[in-house]
Amino acid sequence: MIEPNQLAPDFEADSSKGRVRLSQLKGKKVILYFYPKSFTPGCTREIQRFVELYEQFVNLGAEILGVSVDSVETQKRFAEKYGAKFPVVSDKDKAISSTYGVLNEKGSSAQRVTFIIDREGKVVSVLRNLKKAEEHADKALEEVKKLP
């Protein structure tokens, strides 16, 4: 798994907002959160909380990217249903999840892990093993507030 103080590996993929590339966000703080499956209860609460806090992230110079192994069509529906203004990325081939070391033991989906990336593209914090899925958004906001 990618750990703090490592550079966040770049990737390019299809999302609910079209093609996205992580390196194009250099200069912004990035919350890169992986989740198991769109439309499941925990993942739904998680995206809803990121949507609720989105303006606070933007005001701090941050962008959010949500990633799961669902198809881009599913990601578009998921983002639309819950009003996500940020890209929800399709990692159908599991390349991004593999690179970040967040595939579950079976290799069938991503674990719920959130990476906080600074303006230079370095991972500064990794959130995992939180009790509630929606805590990822609140904890990520706390971490972003610490960054210059």
Cβ–Cβ < 8 Å for 90, 14 = yes
The sheet that has 123-128: what strands, in order across it? 18-21, 12-15, 88-90, 62-68, 29-34, 113-117, 123-128
Sign of CA dihedral 19, 21, 22, 28: negative
9 catalytic? Reply is no
Q: Name the catalytic one among 20, 43, 84, 141.
A: 43
Backbone angles phi, psi at 135, to 5 degrees: -60, -25
The structure tokens 């701090």 sit at: 60
Distance between CA atoms of residues 27 and 114, nearest Å: 19
For the annotated catalytic residues, the residue numbers are 43
